[in-house]
Amino acid sequence: MSNNATQLIHSIPVDPLTGALAVPIYQTSTFVQEAPGVNKGYDYARTGNPTRAVAEDIIARLENGSTGIAFGSGLAAIDAVIKLLEAGDEILAVDDIYGGAFRLFTHIYQKFGITVNYVDTTNAENVFDAVTPKTKLIWIETPTNPTLKISDIAAIAKIAKANRCLLCVDNTFASPALQQPLTLGADLVVHSATKYLGGHSDLIAGFVVTKEKELGDKIKFIQNASGAILSPFDSWLVIRGIETLNLRIKQHCLNAQVVAEFLTTHPAVDKVYYPGLKDHVNHDIASRQSSGFGGIVSFTLKNDTEEAATAFVTSTQYFKLAESLGGVKSLLCHPAQMTHKSIPAEKRKAAGVADSLVRLSVGLEEVTDLIGDLDKAFSSVAALTNKNKTVKA
């Protein structure tokens, strides 16, 4: 399915049993059978649930995949993909990876004999050079969290195919409304549906979508065997969020572009990271592989200290200081002390996550109010910088 709004809205089925326009929440743990093994397609709700099945079907269509599999969190979805691997296998992963994925790979899977090689995937040649016969999975996020690095999905998919390894794209930041990695050659997509798919900061959820049914069946097996499923109510919340996905994403992109351009003009700002800016190093690739640049903007301060970043993130009114992103309300966070604190400081800085880096999740408020909010917060940074200068003098 394309990211056509009509198709998206009407891919959410009317209930065949009652005609209910909204998908019913099947809040049940089990299903009555006529005889052992004779049932209406469901037996036990870990294995399958009709509300979850609708959510899984919609996300599979949105991503142009064969199979969608829903999990209790984005990390549970990532975990299910890694369970495809065996001891001795290697993951080649983007260096600016989400901190939780780094923690999972390093602190859980390395002890089971799975190794990880982090490389800068923004240049596909680096991926080509780093693949070894042990590499079984290439893992990219594009855009990355939080420095909005862009990797060329189609080019990396070719490298994966040539080396008989799987390519998995974490599509959380773009969402399928902007980018469909499976169409560009990836084998798997994962989502933290906690973010744009849910869209209202009111649930934790994750999805895996596979291009091929055979791979989808393997992930389904893992979903049932490991059991980290999405509940019926949270499945319903995701479905309801997806109804407005296209509309929300359009406005997130418009607001984020204005915010990013404002930041480039501000004297307190050092670098601005947003793929929609013409001077973003991979702006051309982003323009080619996605139909918009998303709602996340990051920036660093000229006063590159955690202290200055803390002054900034505690001074805004509309941008609330919180982990997470992708909701209606604008959020901001300081990755060095929050989302990325599980990554050692040297590794974090080497991947571009500076001490003062601030990540904005630009919401759906009036953009002029958001600019005014940021402008005021910059005054707090200026006050702190001036105070420090006076103390030193």
With 0-12 / 13-18 / 19 or more C-beta atoms within 10 angstroms meaning exposed / middle / buried, residue 32 is exposed
Site for ligand PLP in 133-152 (CB under 6 A): 141, 145
Q: Look-up: residue for tokens 């393997």?
A: 218
CA distance 243 to 239: 7
* Closer residue to ligand PLP (CB): 109 or 378: 109
Radius of gyration (Cα) for the chain, nearest Å?
21
* Closer residue to ligand PLP (CB): 194 or 246: 194
Residue 195: active-site member: yes
The catalytically annotated residue of 136, 195, 211, 240 is 195
Q: Look-up: residue for tokens 């959020």?
A: 331
Q: How far is CA 261 from CA 57, 302, 311, in A?
A: 38, 17, 22
The catalytically annotated residue of 26, 43, 46, 304 is 46
Q: Which amino acid is at 375?
A: D
Residues in the chain: 393
Tell me which residue has its CB nearest to ligand PLP. 74
Does 68 contact ligand PLP by CB under 6 A? no
Choose, by CB under 6 A, the member of 100, 128, 305, 307 that binds ligand PLP.
100
Does 206 contact ligand PLP by CB under 6 A? yes
Choose, by CB under 6 A, the member of 98, 105, 118, 236 that binds ligand PLP.
98
The catalytically annotated residue of 95, 152, 170, 234 is 170
- What are the structure tokens assigned to 303, written together? 């006063």
CB 281 within 8 A of CB 152: no
Strand order through the sheet with 320-321: 269-273, 296-301, 358-361, 331-333, 320-321
Site for ligand PLP in 289-348 (CB under 6 A): none
Residue 118: active-site member: no
Residue 170: active-site member: yes
Site for ligand PLP in 161-180 (CB under 6 A): 170, 172
Does 89 contact ligand PLP by CB under 6 A? no
Residue positions annotated with a catalytic role: 46, 98, 170, 195
Q: Footprint of ligand PLP on this chain (CB under 6 A)?
A: 73-75, 98, 100, 141, 145, 170, 172, 192, 194, 204, 206
